[in-house]
Amino acid sequence: MGSFSWTHLLIIAVLFVLLFGAKRLPDAARGLGRSLRIFKSEVGQMQAESAAADTQTATPATPAQPQQLSASAPQVQTPVVEPQQQGHKTL
User: Residue 91's pLDDT is what?
Assistant: 57
* pLDDT for residue 80 is more than 80: no
Confidence of residue 30 (pLDDT cuts 50, 70, 90): very high
Stated pTM of the model: 0.44
Confidence of residue 61 (pLDDT cuts 50, 70, 90): low
**Mean pLDDT over residues 60-82, rounded?**
62
Residues 52, 44: contact at Cβ < 8 Å?
no
User: Residue 57's pLDDT is what?
Assistant: 75
77 by DSSP, 3-state: which?
A: coil
Residues 36, 43: contact at Cβ < 8 Å?
no
